[in-house]
C-alpha cells in the first residue's frame, strides 16, 4: 500500500471512528448482555429455505430440541417454533416497530408479536434493539406473557480503527455494520459467552435472485422457509422507500464483510462459528454439516 493510500485509510479511520463514538454516546445504552454458561453450544436458526429439510430429519430435530437455540425475525411462522422452543428470539429492522411503514409490515409484525405472546409456554429471552423500546405497542403485547423476558441490545454500526471498535464491542455498545440479522445474532451469541456457534438456514444466495427491469427497477426475490416461491419485488428501505441497485449491492457487501469481522472477534473470545448450510454463499466460516455439529 502506497503512502497516499495509507494516509487516506488513516483519515478514513479517524472519521469513521469519530462518527462511531458519537453514535455510541448519543444512542447506545450502557447495559451488558446477560452471560450464559461457559463453553456451551448455541444453534442459530435463520429463515433460509434449507431449514425445512434439515429440521424435518427426526434424528436432527430431537437433538436440536436439547440444544440452546436462537431464532430470528419471522421464525414464528414455522411449526418448528413450538417444537424447538428456542431459548432466544432476536428481531431487528425498523419496520418491526417504527411508524410510517407500509401496511404489509404492520400486519406481519402484529402477527409476530401476538403469536409469541400467545404461544410461548416456555422461558424465552426476546432480544430487541434499544431503538424499539420507545414504541409501547409491542411491549404491551409481549409483556402479557410472563414466560418472555425482554432483553435490549445495542446495534449501532461501528466502523474505523479495529482497536477502538473491539473496545466498543467488548462493552456491548455496538456491532460491525452487518446489515443482516444473522450478524447481530452472532455478536450477541459471543457476548453471551457461547463458544461453539452453528448457523443454519443462511443461504445468502441473493445475487442469483437479483435483476433490473426495463423500467430500471431493481428487483430481488428473497425465498424463506415460509415462502419458497417468493416473487421478485422492490427491496424496501426501513419498510418504505425503494432501494436502488447500488444500495442493494452495498447491503450485500456489508453483510459478507461483517462476517469476517465477526469471525475475527469470535476468535479473540475463543469462540468458533460453523456454517451448517449447504450451498451457502457465506465464505467466512468453517463448514460443517448439521449432524456433526449437534453430535459434537
Q: How confident is the model at residue 151 (pLDDT cuts 50, 70, 90)?
A: very high
pTM of model > 0.95: no
Residue 192 is inside which H or E element, if any? Answer: none
State pLDDT tens for residues 120-150. 999 999 999 999 999 999 999 999 999 999 9
CA dihedral 152, 158, 161, 163 (to 10 degrees): 10
Is the model more confident about 185 or about 225? 185
Residue 68 pairs in a beta bridge with: 42
pLDDT of 281 over the 60 cut: yes
Cα–Cα distance, 96 to 99 (Å, whole number): 9
Task: Tell me the percentage of the chain whose pLDDT exceeds 90.
Answer: 59
Task: Tell me the percentage of the chain whose pLDDT exceeds 70.
Answer: 93
Q: How confident is the model at residue 232 (pLDDT cuts 50, 70, 90)?
A: confident
Alpha helices in the chain (DSSP H): 3-27, 51-56, 58-64, 80-84, 103-119, 136-143, 162-170, 181-191, 245-268, 290-295
The SS3 assignment for 206 reads: helix
State pLDDT tens for residues 36-90. 866 699 999 999 988 988 888 888 899 999 999 999 999 999 899 999 999 999 9
Say what the pLDDT of residue 233 is. Answer: 78
Say which range, 25-34, 62-71, 212-221, 286-295, has the weakest mean pLDDT. Answer: 25-34
Take residue 185 and report the three cell numbers written for it. 445474532
State pLDDT tens for residues 86-129. 999 999 988 999 888 888 889 999 999 999 999 999 999 999 99
pLDDT of 4 over the 70 cut: no
Cα–Cα distance, 177 to 20 (Å, whole number): 11
Say what the pLDDT of residue 257 is. Answer: 95
Exposure string of 10-25, with b = 16+ CB inside 10 Å and e = fewer, is eeebeebbeebbebbe
Q: What is the mean pLDDT of residues 15-34?
A: 83
Q: How confident is the model at residue 238 (pLDDT cuts 50, 70, 90)?
A: low
Q: How confident is the model at residue 229 (pLDDT cuts 50, 70, 90)?
A: low
For residue 2, count other CB atoms closer than 10 A to its CB. 7
Say which range, 162-166, 198-202, 233-237, 238-242, has the weakest mean pLDDT. Answer: 238-242
Take residue 53 and report the three cell numbers written for it. 429439510
Amino acid at each position: 500500500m502506497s503512502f497516499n493510500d495509507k494516509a487516506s485509510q488513516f483519515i478514513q479511520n479517524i472519521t469513521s471512528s469519530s462518527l462511531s463514538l458519537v453514535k455510541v454516546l448519543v444512542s447506545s445504552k450502557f447495559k451488558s448482555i446477560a452471560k450464559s454458561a461457559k463453553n456451551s453450544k448455541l444453534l442459530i436458526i435463520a429463515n433460509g429455505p434449507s431449514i425445512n429439510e434439515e429440521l424435518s430429519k427426526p434424528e436432527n430435530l430431537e437433538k436440536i430440541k436439547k440444544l440452546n437455540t436462537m431464532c430470528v425475525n419471522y421464525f414464528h411462522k414455522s411449526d418448528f417454533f413450538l417444537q424447538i422452543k428456542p431459548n432466544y428470539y432476536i428481531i431487528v429492522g425498523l419496520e418491526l416497530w417504527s411508524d410510517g411503514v407500509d401496511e404489509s409490515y404492520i400486519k406481519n409484525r402484529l402477527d409476530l408479536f401476538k403469536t409469541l405472546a400467545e404461544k410461548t409456554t416456555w422461558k424465552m429471552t426476546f432480544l430487541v434493539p434499544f431503538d424499539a423500546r420507545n414504541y409501547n405497542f409491542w411491549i404491551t403485547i409481549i409483556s402479557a406473557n410472563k414466560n418472555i423476558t425482554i432483553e435490549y441490545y445495542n446495534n449501532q454500526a461501528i466502523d474505523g480503527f479495529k482497536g477502538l471498535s473491539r473496545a466498543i464491542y467488548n462493552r456491548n455498545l455496538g456491532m460491525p455494520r452487518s446489515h443482516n440479522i444473522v450478524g447481530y445474532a452472532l455478536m450477541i451469541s459471543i457476548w453471551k459467552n457461547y463458544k461453539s456457534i452453528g448457523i443454519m438456514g443462511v443461504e445468502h444466495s441473493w445475487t442469483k435472485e437479483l435483476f433490473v427491469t426495463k423500467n430500471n427497477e431493481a428487483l430481488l426475490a428473497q425465498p424463506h422457509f415460509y415462502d419458497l416461491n417468493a416473487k421478485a419485488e422492490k427491496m424496501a428501505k426501513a419498510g418504505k422507500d425503494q432501494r436502488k441497485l447500488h444500495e442493494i449491492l452495498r447491503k450485500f457487501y456489508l453483510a459478507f464483510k461483517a462476517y469476517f469481522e465477526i469471525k475475527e472477534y469470535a476468535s479473540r473470545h475463543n469462540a468458533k462459528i460453523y456454517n451448517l448450510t449447504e450451498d451457502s454463499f457465506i465464505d467466512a466460516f468453517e463448514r460443517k454439516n448439521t449432524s456433526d455439529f449437534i453430535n459434537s
